[in-house]
Structure 1
Amino acid sequence: METHPYPQRDSPPTANPEPDSKSDPEQGSPLPEKPQPRYSIAAVSKLTGISCHTLRVWERRYGFPVPERSPSGHRRYDRIQVQLLCRLSDLNRSSRQPIGELISRLSAGILEPGEHAPPANGAVDEAVRAKLVCLLIAGKSEEAEREYAGFASRFDPLGLVNQVIHPALIEAGEGWFRKSYSVYEERLITVFLRQKLVALIATVRQANTQPVHSVITGTVQGDRHEGGVLIFNLVMELRGWRVHNLGVDLPVREYVSAVQSLRPSALALSFILSRNIKKRFQELQEIQTIPVFVGGRSIVNYQSMARTHGLIPLTGPIVKSVEQLQAGYDLWGHHHPPGQ
């Protein structure tokens, strides 16, 4: 566990506190405050779909990204670098241009118009989202409900996930890792958000009256991380798929039985932990009648192994991985016509 690179919430004020913002000595006007480097390399990998190894290679070879270091020497990235990495990842996938060239153009500020999407309308400011988190860890559930209701009135279900729920879940995990939050505080955040996700899924599922395909989802034995699976389930229902969620920490043999009984169109499992991952891949090879998709943070670093075992890796951020699944499902169907 790392030491916290930032002052704790309960830290007493220093004798000579720094001003809230720095000023330009020439103009006397405040300069923009630099974003805090709060994301670990694992969190950045999860948010961007870029493996930890690739991030280190880019840093060494191209000089980007440029993480800061915690007192214990671990990499820390701010939200602006995360946004730039997402842009680079999107451009690399869509244009197939060499990543070195894209980084050079990004650094020089000469990306062509239309090569990256403008900021989403009504995007939630990080400080506004932080208010919800602060209310939750303070146990102010009624105020947190009102704050969330304000978000819900502004966004559709997918917007709520992208702008509020997913970033707040990431912050909960990262805050615990930084020791900003105790275990119970992290739970106050995640339990609240999971409840909201379940409610959103129920609403969307009710409206999904004519599903086109079905998918079994969950995590394997030993993996109890549920947030990403729930977000995935929501997006799949929005895409017209019927989701059969088997929850977390389930042995592969149970998924094999479920596939035989329910006859879904596909199986999609999340791997946050990499413990015994090769063994799990070997067990999943028993399923031959439908495509088996594997996603989650660990898969970014085990794509080749997954393919070797006949599995289809989903490497992007959660919402984009649904697009990857649809494309992979269509391709699998092309190579496996019915009756063969």
Structure 2
Amino acid sequence: MSSYSIKDLEQLSGIKAHTLRIWEQRYNLLNPKRTDTNIRYYDDGDLKLILNVALLNDNGFKISKIASMSLSEMKEEVIRLTDRSLTHDDQVHALTICMIEMDEDRFDKVLTTNIIKIGFEQTMLNIIYPFLSKIGLLWQTGAINPAQEHFISNLVRQKLIVAIDGQIPSISGKKFLLFLPEGELHEISILFASYLIKSKGHKVIYLGQSTPKRDLDAVYDLVEPDYILTVMTSCPPDDSPQEYVDYLSTRFSKSQIFVSGYQVVGQDLQFGPNVKQFSYIREIKDVLEEIGQGILEK
């Protein structure tokens, strides 16, 4: 079981610590525990409770009304609200609760409902990506364990693969080679990039996770892609980020290369003339628009 400070609850729920303390004293809303050294902390139950409270409060419920609800009444009201709400923050709250409870059916329903209402691309940009950012915060505070992270990542990955399979490239489309460097396993970003690229009629050669240099070299020589895209979240095992970017630029000099990730963005790296940095993977949309305009002009 995880433990949280009141500042953790503030970050995760968006409710100020001062307000949480007032609600705790006035309505007995939370039940803090104490360590052997008398330091106050909160547990998983408190976190789930305050996430539900935050969602209800954001939707106009007075705190006095919320405090009078049983846990089951609160959960039912939250489900009712998220089933009909189009507010992105509400949907992110709902997914967060599903993740903490590992409720796959509910998680799938929330995602599917949003895809139907606003489309797959907007669901990814406005709900999934903010949700994944929250996962990062939950990970930092110890609020989720590796099993929960894998559980959620695999559910999102499944949705992406289904969406990608539904896209058909055109004969006039360009060739994009997508991969992650050796040792890199977080592929949600390049899967989403693959979806965006294929949705515009281009062809994707997808190598996926942890691609060794020798395999990348072999595939490149075989398919001769117009564009290469990769994300560097962790440092490649045999190179510094700068060395790896230099290798990409030199070895694949005939292709336009796009790089992103924590090891690239804001790291003051030097890029060759055929390398462009993306701060966010969704910036590939701008490139796709430029390519589309070029094809139309021809």
Which interval holds the TM-score relative to the shorter structure? 0.5 to 0.7
What's 2:89 paired with? 126
Superposed CA RMSD in Å reads 3.1
Instruction: Give yes or no for the alignment of 1:269 onto 2:269.
Output: no
The alignment's TM-score, normalised by the length of structure 2, stands at 0.64
What's 2:217 paired with? 256
Instruction: Give yes or no for the alignment of 1:176 onto 2:139.
Output: yes
Gapped runs of 5+ residues in structure 2?
13-19, 27-84
What's 1:67 paired with? none
Larger RCO, structures 1/2 (Cα 8 Å, 6+ apart): 1
> Post-superposition shift, 1:127?
2.8
Which one-letter code corresponds to 1:221 in the other structure? E
Measured at CA, do residues 293 and 17 of structure 1 come closer, stay the same or move farther in structure 2, by a change above 3 Å?
A: closer
Aligned-partner SS, 1:294: strand
> Post-superposition shift, 1:186?
1.7
Percent sequence identity over matched residues? 15
Distance 1:171 1:196 in 2: 19
What's 1:18 paired with? 22
> Post-superposition shift, 1:326?
6.2
Structure 1 contact 272–296 (Cα < 8 Å) conserved? yes
Instruction: Give yes or no for the alignment of 1:237 onto 2:231.
Output: no
Instruction: Give yes or no for the alignment of 1:160 onto 2:123.
Output: yes
Measured at CA, do residues 250 and 330 of structure 1 come closer, stay the same or move farther in structure 2, by a change above 3 Å?
A: farther
Instruction: Give yes or no for the alignment of 1:246 onto 2:218.
Output: no
> Post-superposition shift, 1:167?
1.9
What's 2:256 paired with? 291
Which one-letter code corresponds to 1:277 in the other structure? P
Write the deviation string for residues 283-312 of structure 1: whole angstroms up to 9, x where unpaired.
2212222222222232222464123xx441
Aligned-partner SS, 1:248: strand
Instruction: Give yes or no for the alignment of 1:216 onto 2:140.
Output: no
Measured at CA, do residues 280 and 173 of structure 1 come closer, stay the same or move farther in structure 2, by a change above 3 Å?
A: same
Distance 2:229 2:100 in 1: 33
Which one-letter code corresponds to 1:6 in the other structure? D
> Post-superposition shift, 1:175?
1.4
Structure with a larger share of its residues in helix: 2
What's 2:107 paired with? 144
Residue correspondences, number:
219
Instruction: Give yes or no for the alignment of 1:199 onto 2:162.
Output: yes
Instruction: Give yes or no for the alignment of 1:313 onto 2:276.
Output: yes
Aligned-partner SS, 2:265: helix
Distance 2:204 2:216 in 1: 14
> Post-superposition shift, 1:325?
6.7
Measured at CA, do residues 17 and 268 of structure 1 come closer, stay the same or move farther in structure 2, by a change above 3 Å?
A: closer
Distance 1:329 1:225 in 2: 29
Distance 1:324 1:298 in 2: 22
Aligned-partner SS, 2:258: strand
Distance 1:210 1:268 in 2: 21
Which one-letter code corresponds to 1:227 in the other structure? I
What's 2:44 paired with? none
- Give the alignment partner of residue 6 of structure 1, picking from 8, 11, 15: 8
- Give the alignment partner of residue 265 of structure 2, picking from 297, 300, 307: 300
> Post-superposition shift, 1:219?
0.9
Gapped runs of 5+ residues in structure 1?
10-15, 23-121, 332-340
Measured at CA, do residues 265 and 303 of structure 1 come closer, stay the same or move farther in structure 2, by a change above 3 Å?
A: farther
Which one-letter code corresponds to 2:252 in the other structure? I
Structure 1 contact 169–227 (Cα < 8 Å) conserved? no
Aligned-partner SS, 1:316: coil
**Greater radius of gyration (CA):** 2
> Post-superposition shift, 1:270?
1.2
Structure 1 contact 223–271 (Cα < 8 Å) conserved? yes
